[in-house]
Amino acid sequence: MSSLRQRLERLERTPRKAPQRQSPVGPELRRRLDRILGTGIAATVDARAATVAPAASRPAGPPDLTRWLDAERVGVGDSSALQVVWEFPPDHRHGKVTVGEIAASIGAGARGLFPEHLGGFEHLHQLAFLDTETTGLAGGAGTIPFQIGVGRWHLDPERGFRVVQLFLEAPHREAALLQLLTRELEGVRCLVTYNGVGYDVPLLQNRHVLTRQPWPLGTATHLDLLPPARALWRTTHPDCRLGTLEASLLGFGRRGDVPGADIPPLYRAYLAGQADPRLAAVFRHNRDDILSLAGLLAAAGEAARCPRGAAALGVGLLQGRRGHGTLARPALEAALRAELPPPQRARALRELSLTHKRAGAWQEALVRWGEMQALDPADPFPVVEAAKALEHRLDDPAAALSLVEQALARGRWIPKDREALERRQRRLLRRAGTG
């Protein structure tokens, strides 16, 4: 008994060594994770894998952004999100235009260009401009919008334009972020985005579903400015990126901006506890996107109000596609008065001829089809359209036959088009009783 007691006493006096835990992330895997996800991610995995970690080794958590931004933490239930508010009075200049001028142009011209989107609200306050910054561009459940910016005019337009930015300080606070977004979108009748149909809105709708929240804009219209921007300015600009158009049309140049590709890695580093003052530039990037979005809507309105050049062609194409012939015709005629390259001139003539056709103005349509034939003798479209109009609408099959035979005599047709014209010729000959 005494020997057993002595052994127990010796064991109690012997200091115990803490068990050493091996990292679940090996050296090679650690290097790969750091390269793909950003430095510090593998260390975070190690920390989460440890059941007991000394206080000194625990992650410090995301840095406090209020040191760089005039921000406040807004509570929602037992959670919160960071909020930054920017106020722009009517005389605030964004490039060469002011906030007040943007508001006036939207009211005067943009409503006529986008009546199905902007015709349903009575006040500019019911119009919202939205842009997101996300953890990636792949979409799907793994992509999270960590910053959402919303721009709206005040109820009193004399107070100017207000941009509210909501920032996700931690992924588990996403539900609070979306609840605050719902508050900011209250009363909105039309949402304006840039490529929002393909990205921002489906992403936000998906996040609302995943957090079991209703989408707040179920009855509002959605104007994605990217397609009309391409129609208006693609032929006169190297591309239709927001940065390209804001510099050319609004005269706005960014300083100290963060490239879009650098923004997701900055946020991932922020979640890993790395303080980077460039995050403040991300807020300015998002703010400028929203101001430029409002400016581009105003520029589109100005293009519709005073159509000229290639932009007039874009206005005519947009109105023609919607069946607004009376609005399309003056814009297309203005485009034809400009010195447009042959492909653009052909598009203007084609669309103008179709507006005359839809209105039953056959003589005017024939004039435009004749101009198209002179511009491109190898284009079958004006020949076929003119022949159909002469035969079926003006009851002059002889003139239709003459037109087709003259076109065939030019001999510059690809086999498929020549075969189609020859079939029409044979049918017209049979109708005339000579075939």
Least confident of 83-87, 108-112, 149-153, 330-334: 108-112
**Counting beta carbons within 10 angstroms of the beta carbon of residue 349, is it exposed (0 to 12), middle (13 to 18) or buried (19 or more)?**
buried
- Report pLDDT for 54: 46
pLDDT band at 52 (very low <50, low <70, confident <90, very high): very low
Which whole number is the average pLDDT over 98-115?
A: 88
pLDDT(253) > 80: yes
Signed CA dihedral, 90, 182, 299, 368: sign only: negative
Least confident of 55-69, 196-210, 260-274, 392-406: 55-69
Which whole number is the average pLDDT over 178-202?
A: 95
- Report pLDDT for 37: 55
- Report pLDDT for 433: 75
pTM for the predicted model, two decimal places: 0.79
- Report pLDDT for 22: 52
Which whole number is the average pLDDT over 394-423?
A: 93
Please write the tens of the pLDDT for every residue from 276-292. 888 889 999 999 999 99
Q: How many helices (H) and strands (E) does the chain have?
A: 19, 9
Signed CA dihedral, 406, 407, 412, 417: sign only: negative
| 198, containing H or E segment | none
Q: What are residue 73's DSSP bridge partners?
A: 82
CA angle 303, 310, 417 (to 5 degrees): 135
Domains of the chain: residue spans and CATH = 28-59 (no CATH), 65-305 (3.30.420.10), 310-432 (1.25.40.10)
The proportion of the chain whose per-residue pLDDT surpasses 90, expressed as a percent, equals: 63
Three-state DSSP class for 119? coil
Nearest to 166 by CA among 136, 135, 126, 132: 132
Name the more confident of 45 and 375: 375
Mean pLDDT of the chain: 86
- Report pLDDT for 364: 96
CA-CA distances (angstroms) from residue 348 to 225, 271, 356? 22, 52, 12
pLDDT(19) > 70: no
Tell me how crowded residue 156 is: count the other CB atoms within 10 A of its CB.
Answer: 8
Please write the tens of the pLDDT for every residue from 313-325. 999 999 888 888 8
Signed CA dihedral, 61, 200, 128, 312: sign only: positive
- Report pLDDT for 14: 58
Q: Which residue has the tokens 């003459």?
A: 402
- Report pLDDT for 58: 45
DSSP string, 284-295: HHHHHHHHHHHH
pLDDT band at 51 (very low <50, low <70, confident <90, very high): very low
- Report pLDDT for 55: 44
- As a whole number of angstroms, the distance between CA 133 and CA 123 comes to 28
The proportion of the chain whose per-residue pLDDT surpasses 70, expressed as a percent, equals: 84
Least confident of 16-25, 98-107, 413-422: 16-25
Least confident of 2-16, 102-116, 404-418: 2-16
Please write the tens of the pLDDT for every residue from 226-252. 999 999 999 889 999 999 999 999 999
Nearest to 320 by CA among 328, 332, 312: 328
